[in-house]
Structure 1
């Protein structure tokens, strides 16, 4: 039997897949859906091992209660009734004493499913009835999304299926061959001239015609400089600017402040290369830009995306098929998310706690303090900034922590109760891509192992144990899907496995070079350059996505860990020589926040002044802290986003 499903992981592609189930009920094969226009039958190196994960001997199959100290990872098996009774008793006491806001439902991107994962904030109805704090998932893409909305009125960008019409494609701060390789097929089909802009010469940059390596966090200055060149050549699209934009005269004055010589000083790029790329953009229609989350993870990250979205406005590419900017397609989907979350069930307005600032919330929140933490599809010990302080917050003996998980992660070690969660072939879900225009349906293919329950069923049972009477808390998964997909052809989606959603117009109205919304929020009304916040001595450390992990997912897979090798930090030969570091040396990477150990990889794949490593490592397999020990828990400019790439460090021999 073949069952249609979809990948739930934090990747733009949301691949449609096919699970082959043997007569004995076991899933024996997983392959990409060859009928899906983006998946085209291929999965990535990570997801090719997904069934191996599902059947892993390390899988958590039964509820557990902590018996050791927090952090020791010692648990005893208990029944579901025991687990739910204890949770219900603790939550009831917390609500009675401090109110529901003392409860923090902490959702991560381990699943982007609308029913079981982050996109629908699974369990939110339950938490709303209790009056729990809201969770703001700020870690991923919020800064860039807000930046795009200031300029375009939407966070939706161009359809990647238009890339074959492009003549010039700029891959700006993105490495799709590692982080969502299906878009590469459309890029290849274009025959376009390819430019990579990235401080690191990535797998993708190797395949491009040209690579520029600016200093991290200077992307907005580079974009302003390129637009300066275009205007200096008289190549701006005056008709498009007059008819489809607002604030062009003021923005043109801003561009005059960023000639190539000044931009060269800011970015560390030669002025002649800035001019040459600006000239190429000026003469090439259509030009497309593919950007992703990495470039907005610094102090001025939101402003960088806001500024970059202006470039196709200056050239008129927003009005040409195959032109524009592709960051995320999420803004194009019109799903009834409010029907899932049911914020109307909140008894009163409640506070919002930031995902990026977990340790601050656990250690500093007052009126009330956070007394209960539910961790859902997340591994914050491995993924959040300021690792050591996060651990200190999770180590509070008075914090009641419940973790819904598949594997014994670093975060599970700090749980009071661990609940075994189903994986994607074992439950119903709906997934929307953020890198293409397709919804995908995930039909359960096999029975869960042991006593694993879906997230939706877990909260239905917990509601019963607490005696909650709100009827919507007991809606079935099919009911939830029907409410979410109101206005869409659910029957066709379930039958065919995927459904294309037509993109909305971009920009949504006139492109805003001058943004009243930005000004009202306290930002510059015009796009500008905001320098990195972490300045001074040392190297800038980039912690980009690994080719073998999706954030921290697959971080426990033995084969993928073998392929990834030991943690490495890539250092430019000049920087290595100054520090007496040879290729292969054991090094200590540190700053005032923390330190981690790694192996030095001396290579010109990074530019001088920059070091590079990958995220997603677990402490238990790294034998100590990971890169996030060095990263500050502070906000980017828009929306409180994370600043993983705004990070100065020092390196010494170990």
Structure 2
């Protein structure tokens, strides 16, 4: 019988599924341990396949996909990253609750005792019915969360149960990219985004607060696609980010550190340079855009409220958005801003993308709109090797979801305001 060490050396890891050796390994595998395919559902959204090996009912090892030769372009191995491969540590973490706990002290005191599953289920069910009967179904709320959950089962399973119980208070928005979701349709009519493969057609790839090497690191999705696109054509890569991220360290030709939350000021200074040097795509702006300058400003808009007037200091604040002005806000040297503006204006095609971090702040919707102005001003939209300034696009894969039924409750709240609903729900409109 093959040992585990011999099995790992046998060749399936380098993709020999049809070889006699691989067949021998496959026959010996049940004698070693049982295995089953699973998916990594950690919050990057890539859903990489992983293989779980168990012994006596316990997961003892997790491997990534090694069932195919590592060929390009397809089929190929869909390799999980270190997060997916280390899920066993999360499953058996000492910090994880292994049984129901009931609070026995005052709220916040931190005193709990172990109870049975039957008692836990009965306690929840009794209180659920009590709250519904006393306060109504809009007092029932399931909090949106991220981290590790399955949109196919867990979230929809709860929503189905709540609807069967008469409905629940709904939410809208998300912690991920709510500002992008709300702002860009007003600006662009939707959320257009080029697939990562378009990066291979660009000569300059600029990332604002975007770190796909960490947030999309797997071999099963966007991170791999970006790597392949960059490797194929080798565009210059500039990362604008407060942190020296994995992407900045491994992919960037230039890293420009910036004070958190000041991306809009940087973009305004870039635009100031382009406008004054006649580097904007005036034909594109005249034909496809509303409100760049006075020519396309709607009659109902206040005078000097167009983008160009604001940028040059003719708007209400009377402040020209010069590189010197932006440097004091962003912490970026004036020369770096000037050089960046020149390089972005003179290098085409230009692919601009933004991560979800820059918009996660007060007034974050204006930050994401500002970044999206870069390709608009330069006319780098809808062409090979360009992007509309949004996060790189995804390839959609349809899924069969658990039906949740209908929710008769009409009330809905922003996801961020669930604490307000608890403290002053009756006062909220």
TM-score bracket, shorter-length normalisation: 0.7 to 0.9
- Matched residue, 1:212: 256
Q: What residue ranges of structure 1 are gaps of 5+ in the alignment? A: 369-654
CA-to-aligned-CA distance 1:457-491 (integer Å, 9 cap, x gap):
xxxxxxxxxxxxxxxxxxxxxxxxxxxxxxxxxxx
1:540-555 → structure 2 map (5 Å cutoff): none
- Matched residue, 1:29: 62
Maintained 8 Å contact 1:152/1:309: no
Deviation at 1:358, TM superposition (A): 4.3
Given the alignment, which residue of 182, 198, 207 partners 1:146?
A: 182
Which of 1 and 2 has higher RCO (CA within 8 Å, sep 6+)? 1
Maintained 8 Å contact 2:40/2:50: no
Q: 1:132 to 1:41 in 2, by over 3 A?
A: closer
Maintained 8 Å contact 2:353/2:392: no
Maintained 8 Å contact 1:173/1:292: yes
- Equivalents in 2 of 1:163, 1:155: separation in Å? 18
Given the alignment, which residue of 1, 26, 42 partners 1:9?
A: 42
Maintained 8 Å contact 2:101/2:112: no
Maintained 8 Å contact 1:109/1:117: no
- Matched residue, 2:213: 177
- Equivalents in 1 of 2:132, 2:194: separation in Å? 46
Deviation at 1:340, TM superposition (A): 4.3
Aligned length: 360
- Equivalents in 2 of 1:176, 1:239: separation in Å? 34
- Matched residue, 1:225: 269
- Equivalents in 2 of 1:50, 1:242: separation in Å? 53
Maintained 8 Å contact 1:200/1:213: yes
1:504-515 → structure 2 map (5 Å cutoff): none
- Relative to the length of structure 1, the TM-score reads 0.49
Maintained 8 Å contact 1:15/1:32: no
1:552-563 → structure 2 map (5 Å cutoff): none
- Equivalents in 1 of 2:279, 2:153: separation in Å? 49
Q: What residue ranges of structure 2 are gaps of 5+ in the alignment? A: 1-33, 218-222, 294-305, 314-320
Point out the structure with the larger helix share: 2
Deviation at 1:50, TM superposition (A): 0.8
- Matched residue, 2:246: 203
- Equivalents in 2 of 1:178, 1:229: separation in Å? 33
Q: 1:297 to 1:142 in 2, by over 3 A?
A: same
- Matched residue, 1:104: 141
Maintained 8 Å contact 1:171/1:195: yes
- Equivalents in 2 of 1:328, 1:122: separation in Å? 30
Query: What SS does the corresponding residue of 1:365 show, helix, strand or coil?
Result: helix
Q: 1:362 to 1:225 in 2, by over 3 A?
A: same
Maintained 8 Å contact 1:198/1:213: yes
RMSD of the alignment, in Å?
Answer: 3.3
Deviation at 1:169, TM superposition (A): 1.2
- Matched residue, 2:308: 252
- Matched residue, 2:345: 282
Query: What SS does the corresponding residue of 1:139 show, helix, strand or coil?
Result: coil
- Equivalents in 2 of 1:217, 1:361: separation in Å? 28
Deviation at 1:253, TM superposition (A): 3.1
Maintained 8 Å contact 1:147/1:304: no
CA-to-aligned-CA distance 1:306-344 (integer Å, 9 cap, x gap):
1211211222221222211341646x74969998454xx
- Equivalents in 1 of 2:39, 2:384: separation in Å? 29
1:390-409 → structure 2 map (5 Å cutoff): none
Given the alignment, which residue of 152, 156, 162 partners 1:115?
A: 152
- Matched residue, 1:133: 169
Query: What SS does the corresponding residue of 2:51 show, helix, strand or coil?
Result: strand
Point out the structure with the larger strand share: 1
